[in-house]
Structure 1
Amino acid sequence: MPTIKDLVHDVMAAPIGDIIASVGQGVAQAQEALDRASLAQVLAIYHDSDSEELRLLQEIGYQPTFYALPDTTGEIQVALSISGQNNTASTAAPTTQPAVRSKALSLAERFLPRLPAAKVYAAPVNADLTNRYGFQASAAAKIQFRIVPVPAPGRASDIRVVPALVGKLLEEAETLAARFALEVLAVDKNGEPLTAPPANKKITGQVPEAGEISVVGTSIQVSFA
């Protein structure tokens, strides 16, 4: 049979501040998931592909919609409990000069030490708590939220995925890079720009590598064997 100790253990599930913080963390994670989904769409569009549909979206500068949670309302039925111990500092033996002691103590020193060092704990009211202890309360939980479109974050339209240039001629690489508003810079093995890059040799290396995230105007260094 459940005891009072069991009831106290169940009711004191967590400090109420932790519960509120957990709700806030959940909202933050939901917003992060929305942002990641929109960003994934941006990366899916602005990468090298043979799809004519994607090429058309790239040409018109299409941007996926970003969404936000402007407000979130939550309502949870909980059982509250207070736990803590009194500060016994004020129960010390009186000094030999109580009158002098009384004048020296401030108002805060007289009363604050007597306040309990307590915390408020909360446990969600559920069917188990009601059945085991006869706790009478209407269990309810309600969450309201709105998801609305918002302007894309600054420079989100500048995000690009570096195309694969290895194996292409310099002219082909420049044409492909220009499609993503990127530049191509031919360099030697020491990373120095080539004054007369070979037109009939295929690219054997590139920095940054294909698939890396970049932005408009980035210069891709290409090298030849």
Structure 2
Amino acid sequence: MANNPLDYMKEVLAAPLGELISSVGSGVADAQAALDAGSLSQWLSLYSEDGDNDEVLARLREIGYQPTFYTLPETSVEAKVSLSLSAKSSLNAQTQILPETGKTRMMASPVNASIANRFNLDAEASATLKFKVVPVPPPGNVSDIRVAPNLVTLTLAEAEAKLSELNLQYQVANQIDGSPAEFTQDSPVMAQTPAAGSLVRRDQIMVLQIPDPDAKTVPNLANQTLEDAAAMLTDMGLLWTLKKDENGDMPRPVKTALVTSYTPAFGNVVEDGDTITLEITEVDPLAPTVTLGQPAT
């Protein structure tokens, strides 16, 4: 512990007032950022694909509900510090050396108990923070923001309905270059631009790719049981095999295993006799199996 009374004062008042003011300003900025993030999160939830599955959110969207944005238009801080210090010191009768004081700064911090007891220090400090939170209109462009839904594997009719709920428009890929589009409302969507989860504007057009109706394409096998996927591929004149594990071993083709991924991917053009490689979940090793490349039995 220092012997200079000024050092004791600094220990009692450990934080410069400039840092105190700076920290308050940073806190206000963080609070405003948190308010904005919360409002924006509500907006994206309202106009996202997950919002379609929530009846309350769907109804709020239908009536034109808009989440409220808030701001901190005014913040004031008042700090009061009162100090009283008395100390006794004994000096050598032969020699008296005055301490160097140097430049001092006004500091503020909680009172140190050891100093208060030793130097009969009384310190009082109080701070008052006042702020207002008021609602404000949302930023001009926020009302046009949407989250692109996942349309891949949906039929064109299902994709159109989902986009309509979000007030988004679409075009089929081969309509853009002016060539005739040959598809039906039951045609599956094999790809989309922008990708699912991207932020899009309400006036932005989603581009959907539809497979050629006259071409043979890989069907949607995701989450199908291996038994059903095998039957589907065999009926189309296609062969199938399983993806080997990291040790190079072929997993057992258990009927109830689910297909997690496959190559070529959904919508790719294939020909009779082509092989589709399936990746499946782990299953009971004693469960019935399916013969590779053959329909399920």
TM-score, with structure 1 as normaliser: 0.70
Alignment partner, residue 24 of structure 1 = 25
Matches within 5 A, 1:90-169: 120-126=105-111, 128=113, 130=116, 134-169=120-155
- C-alpha distance in 1, partners of 2:110/2:80? 6
Alignment partner, residue 61 of structure 1 = 64
Structure 1 position 146, deviation (Å): 1.5
Alignment partner, residue 222 of structure 1 = 208
Q: 1:134 to 1:63 in 2, by over 3 A?
A: farther
Structure 1 position 64, deviation (Å): 0.9
2:39 corresponds to 1:38: yes
Structure exhibiting the larger radius of gyration computed from Cα positions = 2
Instruction: Flag the structure with higher strand content.
Output: 1
2:159 corresponds to 1:173: yes
Structure 1 position 202, deviation (Å): 0.8
Structure 1 position 181, deviation (Å): 1.5
Deviates more, 1:56-65 or 1:45-54: 45-54
Structure 1 position 206, deviation (Å): 1.4
- C-alpha distance in 2, partners of 1:217/1:206? 16
Relative CO higher for 1 or 2, CA cutoff 8 Å, sep ≥ 6?
A: 1
Q: 1:161 to 1:132 in 2, by over 3 A?
A: farther
**One-letter code aligned to 2:78:** E
Q: 1:37 to 1:203 in 2, by over 3 A?
A: same
Name structure 1 gaps, 5 residues minimum.
81-116
**One-letter code aligned to 1:3:** N
Q: Is the Cα–Cα contact under 8 Å of residues 78 and 125 in structure 1 kept in the other structure?
A: no
- C-alpha distance in 2, partners of 1:218/1:119? 62
**One-letter code aligned to 2:67:** P
Q: How many residues align?
A: 187
**One-letter code aligned to 1:62:** Y
Q: 1:134 to 1:74 in 2, by over 3 A?
A: farther
Structure 1 position 213, deviation (Å): 1.9
Structure 1 position 39, deviation (Å): 0.8
Q: Deviations over 1:115-166 (max 9, x none)?
A: xx96845232445464565443312122111211111111221121111111
Instruction: Flag the structure with higher helix content.
Output: 1
**One-letter code aligned to 1:28:** A
- C-alpha distance in 2, partners of 1:119/1:178? 68
- C-alpha distance in 2, partners of 1:194/1:133? 92
Structure 1 position 67, deviation (Å): 1.0
SS of match in other structure, 2:122: coil
Name structure 2 gaps, 5 residues minimum.
84-101, 211-266, 268-297
- C-alpha distance in 1, partners of 2:117/2:202? 62
- Aligned sequence identity (%): 39
- C-alpha distance in 2, partners of 1:12/1:157? 49
2:206 corresponds to 1:205: no
Structure 1 position 3, deviation (Å): 3.3
Q: 1:72 aligns with which of 71, 75, 100?
A: 75
Quote the RMSD (CA, aligned, Å).
3.0
SS of match in other structure, 2:124: coil
TM-score, with structure 2 as normaliser: 0.55
